[in-house]
Chains A and B, each alone.
Chain A
Amino acid sequence: MSILINGVSKTFGSFKALDNVNLEVPDGSLLALLGPSGSGKTTLLRIIAGLEIADSGTVVHQNEDITHHPPRDRKVGFVFQHYALFRHMTVAENIGFGLRMRKVSKAKIEERVRELLQLIRLEGLGSRYPGQLSGGQRQRVALARSLAAQPRVLLLDEPFGALDAKVRQELRHWLRKLHKEIHVTSIFVTHDQEEALEVADKVVVMNEGRIEQIGTPEEVYDHPKTPFVYQFLGNVNLFHGRVHNGRAHIGGLEVEAPEHADAVHTPAVAYVRPHDFEISKTRNGGGSSWFEATIDQLLAVGPVARLDLKRPGSDEPIQAEISRDQYRDLDLSEGDKVFIRPRRLKLFAGEERPTGT
């Protein structure tokens, strides 16, 4: 086990940034800490790096308790959101800084810098200053700099947050590839669910200083453990209702809920992803699982058609997504009356926590 976090808590003034967090990071994994701002993900990363000290709990690194070690003794590489390159040093000097501070010989530093410049594909730019590079190039230099001293862990704080969409996309792929090549245990922080799901091989969803769920991207997306994870990963429609004796009553709908067989008139919330709706122009005999709605707005740009629906007697809009083909087959237009049915829904009974989006 590369990194082990045991019951770490951290408070800033009256704000509880981390609340008894436990986490295991296996060797060689690429892990994403995903959460909204204020969820404690960056604080956790900084505690692993030694830039913050936990109020309680321990951080164990390859069987060595490093909770109170200063950053320089932790052999971690840290990549900052805004690069934090030394502006008065050239790219080569930046990359070689860590080795220079550790009194490595000049020849060895030069060799390593050349190696890394090749790795980040910036050969020939070693004598430039950070100010003369583009954002994406700077972030790669920052990455090379953090890798120079061969860290045991690579920590990245919103590494692509300051870049524009296209560059971000390219750098994501590049990071994924790089990790396959060098296989250093990496943890990166992001608030972008798409980024986490796409890059990481394990995602840790955080909220309000706690870990909500740990799992592979597929696990957290397809089988969210908590309402928060459901809402945070992708768009979602929310329906309030009740469960009773294994059946859920949501709006006009009645669905089987075998996992809540012993529930007695318990309030419940059902979540349905927009692409999990089935849409039909007729109530094809399906009985109580279909309900009626009118198309309020229609947006058919790109691979999917987005529908804003309204149920009679309810102001809450329902978002649905269907493929372009299906949209064409159904021949829909705004104001049409349709019947919709959730193909899949996730039920959380006894919902006690407010789940604002």
Chain B
Amino acid sequence: MSTDAISQKAPAAAAAAAKIRKAQQDPALVRWGLTFLALGVIGILVIIPVINVFTVAFSHGVGVYFDNLFANKDTFHAIKLTLTVVPIAVAANLIFGISAAWAIARFSFPGRALLTALIDLPFAVSPVVAGLSFVLIFGLQGYLGPFLREDGYSAMPYLVSAFAALISGLVYFLLLPGNPNARTGIWRYPWAAAIAVAVITFAVLFFLQQYFQVWPKKESLKVIFAIPGLVLATAFVTFPFVARELIPTMEAVGSDEELAAVTLGASGWQMFWHVTIPNIKWGLAYGIILCNARAMGEFGAVYVVSGHIAGKTDTMPLRIEKLFQEFNLEGSYAVASVLTLLAIITLIIKTRLERKVPASATAPGPMKPNTNEEDV
């Protein structure tokens, strides 16, 4: 009950409540002191720098600002590159995050605790170290470097057919008839479909590669200093966000509704779309927003794997740094202002979502047993 309600009902009680409140309160000096300290720190560390970014960016007018962003070929390329790499990394993490959260929240399996711990690994490891580890694997001096350089594309038929096998395996289980008596023919061999698809895909791809050269032969497949490396590094650094957000949400929602859906005749797929997704959508959106924000601003890991080639592998944060080093303050701040703007937009969406996320476990109303107003 709020204090207003009390005062309307009984002024005497309100006075007593005020007294209690006073007794529980800290002295004015402490209250004001702490408030000023908090506001002061935020002002110096956050507000003034953000304002400064925009002031410097626009210091020579709006025209110069947009020239800095769009007329400069390398800067414009950096913006485009970031807008290419980030969605791929976020999409990859979305799929990974949902799978991992589902596995952890719904099943118990050997290695569950390890998986939970490993999801947090990117938070613990310095991004530079993450970048270096990719260089160590895919770089010229790395384990796979010489092969990738010699004839990297020859790995493509293998990769694509393995991927096809994975997808066909998933599709197989989604289409599998529930009733064991209805499982005839191919449905009696669970692994056959995936293996068959893998073999056929591989044969077709190998044939095409042999005679029509789908991928260039004897050419190096660039991972490091190229887009694949950027995507890998970005995805690695941001992969906890979606899973971290979903695990508690899914645990709070529980599996009862999903089981109910199954007993009511929903297939696994129907259950996922009609029950699971609506229940976790706000948590999911929140995770994607955070993941996206972090992916756009990623510097350390990307710095190591990108090679910093202007107009080729420079993303926005890298471009900012380069322009800054070249004493092009306005150009650098112009790009920075775009990132800052994106951050502010993210913050606004995040705050909006935050109001819905904790409620998602109970929305649209509390599901606790409520035994009032009974009329059986």
Q: Is A118 an interface residue (CB 8 A)?
A: no
Q: B-facing mask of A77-113, CB < 8 A → 1, else 0? A: 1101011111110000000011001100000000000
Which residues in B have their C-beta under 8 angstroms from that of A162?
Answer: 369
> Is the CB–CB distance between B260 and A84 below 8 Å?
yes
Given the known inter-chain contacts A73-B179, A84-B259, A131-B364, please indicate yes or no for A149 contacting B372, CB distance below 8 A. Answer: no
Which residues in A have their C-beta under 8 angstroms from that of B82?
Answer: none
What are 18 A-B contacts defined by CB distance under 8 Å?
A: A70-B262, A71-B263, A76-B263, A97-B261, A97-B264, A98-B265, A102-B265, A129-B364, A131-B367, A133-B370, A135-B369, A136-B374, A138-B369, A149-B265, A163-B371, A166-B371, A166-B374, A167-B376
> Which of A131, A134, A174 has a CB less than 8 Å from the CB of B363?
A131
Closest to B270 in A: A101
Which residues in A have their C-beta under 8 angstroms from that of B278?
Answer: 86, 88
Which residues in A have their C-beta under 8 angstroms from that of B266?
Answer: 72, 97-98, 101
Q: How far is the CA of A51 from the CA of B261 in the complex (A)?
A: 11
Given the known inter-chain contacts A73-B178, A87-B363, A136-B374, please indicate yes or no for A78 contacting B260, CB distance below 8 A. Answer: yes
Q: Is B26 an interface residue (CB 8 A)?
A: no
Chain B interface extent, by class: 20 to 34
Q: Is A132 an interface residue (CB 8 A)?
A: yes
Q: Is A68 an interface residue (CB 8 A)?
A: yes
Q: Is A49 an interface residue (CB 8 A)?
A: yes
Which residues in B have their C-beta under 8 angstroms from that of A328?
Answer: none
Q: Is A130 an interface residue (CB 8 A)?
A: yes
Which residues in A have their C-beta under 8 angstroms from that of B259?
Answer: 51, 71, 78, 80, 84
Most buried by B among A50, A73, A77, A149: A73
Q: Measuring CB to CB, which residues of chain A are less than 8 angstroms from any residue of chain B? A: 49-51, 68-74, 76-78, 80, 82-88, 97-98, 101-102, 121, 129-138, 140, 142, 145-146, 148-149, 162-164, 166-167, 170-171, 174
Which residues in B have their C-beta under 8 angstroms from that of A78?
Answer: 259-260, 263
> Is the CB–CB distance between A68 and B180 below 8 Å?
yes
> Is the CB–CB distance between A87 and B257 below 8 Å?
yes
> Is the CB–CB distance between A131 and B362 below 8 Å?
yes
> Is the CB–CB distance between A71 and B367 below 8 Å?
no
List 19 extra interface pairs beyond A98-B264, A130-B367, CB under 8 A: A50-B263, A69-B179, A71-B263, A72-B265, A72-B267, A80-B259, A82-B367, A86-B260, A87-B279, A97-B261, A98-B265, A101-B264, A101-B267, A131-B367, A134-B371, A134-B374, A136-B376, A142-B260, A146-B263
Q: How far is the CA of A171 from the CA of B371 in the complex (A)?
A: 12
> Which of A134, A138, A146, A171 has a CB less than 8 Å from the CB of B372?
A134
Which residues in B have their C-beta under 8 angstroms from that of A74?
Answer: 263
Q: Which B207-265 residues have C-beta < 8 A from chain A? A: 256-257, 259-265
Chain B at the A interface: SS class? loop
Given the known inter-chain contacts A171-B376, A174-B376, please indicate yes or no for A132 contacting B263, CB distance below 8 A. Answer: no
- The smallest beta-carbon distance between B367 and chain A, in angstroms, is 6
Which residues in A have their C-beta under 8 angstroms from that of B326?
Answer: none
> Is the CB–CB distance between A88 and B264 below 8 Å?
no
> Is the CB–CB distance between A69 and B178 below 8 Å?
yes
Q: Is B274 an interface residue (CB 8 A)?
A: yes
Q: How far is the CA of A145 from the CA of B265 in the complex (A)?
A: 11
> Is the CB–CB distance between A136 and B264 below 8 Å?
no
> Which of B178, B274, B365 has a CB less than 8 Å from the CB of A129?
B365
Q: A-facing mask of B352-364, CB < 8 A → 1, else 0? A: 0000000000111
- The smallest beta-carbon distance between A16 and chain B, in angstroms, is 19
Q: Is B373 an interface residue (CB 8 A)?
A: yes
Q: Which B252-301 residues have C-beta < 8 A from chain A? A: 256-257, 259-267, 270, 274-275, 278-279
- The smallest beta-carbon distance between A284 and chain B, in angstroms, is 50
Q: Is B366 an interface residue (CB 8 A)?
A: yes
Which residues in B have their C-beta under 8 angstroms from that of A135?
Answer: 369-371
